[in-house]
Chains A and B, each alone.
Chain A
C-alpha cells in the first residue's frame, strides 16, 4: 500500500480538511476586540480634531476682524480692544530663559550622570531626586518661585511689593520646572551612544571631555534637541506656576511694563509680566462671551501655533533619526 502524505496531490480531500482546520472559524471576538482598540485611538483623534476645530472656529474670526490689532494690543477691560502683545513678550522671554538657563544645566547634569559619575550613593541620590522632581506638580514650582525668586531675591530687580513679581522670576521658575525633563531626555540620548565610539576615541588618546565633545555630544545631539524643543513647548504652555508667581491678570491695561516695542529688550525682565497661557486662563474665566469664547480662543490659536509647531518639529526630528540609526 502506498503511503499517503498530506501533501500528496492524490488526496485533495485531506488537504481541504487541513486547510479548513488551520483557518478555523471566523474569529468574531478577535475582530471586535481589534475594532474596539482602534476605536480608542480614533476617540483620541476625534477629541484632538474637535478641540482644534472649536478653537479655530471661535478664534479665527477675531483675527479676521482685527488682524494685527489683536497681536499688537495690550491687556484691556474691553474685549474688542484687548490684545496679546505683552503676553507674547512674556512668553518669548520665558522660552529664552529655558534655552539659556535650563538647557546648559540640564545637559551638563546629564553628562555628569552618564559619563563622569562614580556608581555611589550620591549618584543614586541625584538620579532618584531628578526622577522625583520631574513628577512634582507644576503649581508647586510656583511656590518655589514665589518664596525664593520673588520674596527672597526681590525678583532680581530691587523692586518692592508686587513689583517684585518679575519676568525674570517667572523665567527662572519655568527653567527649574523643565530642568529634570531636560536631564532625563539628555541622559537617554547619551545612553544610546554606542560604546564603541567612546572606546575608539579613548584608544587614540582622547581625554574624557574630548571624547564627550567629539563623539558623545554630536551623536546624541538630535535626541538632546528633541528634549529641548519639547521643554520649550512645555514652558510656553505652562500657566499654573505663573498664577502663583503673581502674573498680571488685571484687565485695566496697565500692570505690566511690557510694551509692544520691547520684544527683544532685556529690561522687560525686571518688569511685572503676563504670558500667553495666563492671558488665556484669565479671559476664559471672564463672564463676557467676547472674552471667554472669542478672545480666549484667539489667544489659544496664537499659543497653539507656536507650541504644536515646536512639538511637531521635535517628533519629526526624533523619528527621522530613529529610522536612520536603526537602518
Chain B
C-alpha cells in the first residue's frame, strides 16, 4: 500500500530564520568577548612602550647601567640596584616556599588519607586568598622583629629588610608551589607506584625514586612559576623591605632595599611631584617593560613544563 509523502525540500530543515539570526548573533557576541583579552594585551603593550619610549630614547644610559643606586629624583636609575633587590627577595622567597610547598604537596598527593587531605588542603587555599598587603603588614610587624630580629639581632628586626620581605613573599608563594607540584604528582599513573611497591620498595623509596622523578617537569614548572610570582609581587616589598624611594646597590638581605616592583610603587605614589620634571616618571614604564618581559619569559617556560606533564601521562 502506497503512502503519499508531502513534497519536501531541504529548506524545510533549516528552521525559523529568527532562531538562526539569534544563533549567529550569539556567536559574534562571544567572539567579541574572547577578543577582549587580546585587546587588554595590546593595550598593555601600547601603554608600556608609548610611555617607556620617552625614557629609552632620552636617558643617558650611563645613568642606568653605570651607577650603583636607584634615585629617580636625582636622575639616577641604577637598574642593577633594583634587579639585585628583586633577585635577593625572590631568592629568600624560594628558600621558604619550595621546601614548604613541595613537602606539603608530597604529603597531600602521596601520603594523606582522604579525610586528612580534605582537612589540610583548605589551609593552602585560604593562605592563597590572603591579600599581599596583609602579608606585608605581617612581614614588617611580626616577621621582622620575631624572626629576623631573633636570628640577627634586634637592630636588624626594628625595621623592614629584604630578608623580612622575602620571607613574606615566600609565604605567599607556598600555595602556588604546592598546587602546581601536587597536580604534577597526581598525574603520575598509579601503575608506576604499584610496580614499585610490587618490587618490594617502601613508600619512601617509591615516592623519592619513582613519583618525584616522574613528576619532575611539573616540579620545575612549580619553581619557575613561583619565581615569576615572586618577582612580580609588589606590596609585601613596598611595605616591609624598609626602603622609601631610593636604594643603594647591596647584596646583603639584611639591608633595606627596593625591588623593581617596589621601585615602581614608590615612584607612582609620588607622581604628582615628579611628573614632567624629569625622566623619573617615564622610568616607571621602563621598569614596567623590564618586569613584563622577565615574567613573560618565565611564564612561557613554566607553562611549557606544565604541558609536558600533561602530555607525558
Contact = CB atoms under 8 A, between A and B. Distances in A.
A132 B133 contact: no
Given A132-B299, A280-B133, A54 B34 contact: no
A90 interface: no
Contact of A140 (B48, B124, B134, B239): B48
Contacts of A209: 22-23, 26-27
**Of A47, A179, A277, most B-chain CB atoms within 10 Å:** A47
Contact of A116 (B31, B38, B292): B31
Contacts of B11: none
Interface in B20-44: 20, 22-23, 26-27, 29-38, 40-41, 43-44
Interface stretch (A66-74, A75-83, A215-223, A243-251): A243-251
B250 interface: no
Interface string B232-259: 1111001100000000000000000000
Given A38-B107, A40-B100, A243-B269, A147 B51 contact: yes
A128 B203 CA distance: 38
A144 B43 contact: yes
Contact of B129 (A55, A129, A233): A233
Contacts of B48: 140, 143, 147
A203 interface: no
Contact of A137 (B36, B134, B203, B295): B295
B232 to A, nearest CB: 3
Interface string A37-51: 111110111011011
A237 interface: yes
Contact of A139 (B136, B137, B265, B272): B265
A311 interface: yes
B278 interface: no
A105 B36 contact: yes
Contact of B37 (A41, A133, A284): A133
Interface in A132-166: 132-133, 135-144, 146-148, 162
A65 interface: no
Contacts of A169: none
Contacts of A205: 15
Contact of A208 (B23, B34, B104, B107): B23
Given A37-B104, A47-B127, A147-B51, A207 B19 contact: yes
B95 interface: no
B33 A27 contact: no
B30 A108 contact: yes
Nearest to A43: B100
Contacts of A34: 107, 111, 203
A55 to B, nearest CB: 7
B44 A140 contact: yes
B122 interface: yes
Interface stretch (A192-200, A263-271, A289-297): A289-297
B269 A116 contact: no
B204 A143 contact: no
Contacts of B228: 135
A237 B38 contact: no
B126 interface: yes
Interface stretch (B58-66, B74-82, B283-291): B283-291
B41 A132 contact: yes
B148 to A, nearest CB: 15
A41 B120 contact: yes
B126 A311 contact: yes
A55 B137 contact: yes
B222 interface: no
A172 to B, nearest CB: 10
Contacts of B141: 54, 58, 284, 292-293
B132 A126 contact: no
6 contacts: A48-B130, A126-B38, A139-B234, A140-B288, A244-B264, A304-B131
Which 10 pairs show the lowest CB-CB distances between chains A and B?
A237-B131, A137-B232, A108-B33, A40-B103, A147-B47, A37-B107, A112-B30, A135-B299, A311-B129, A240-B234
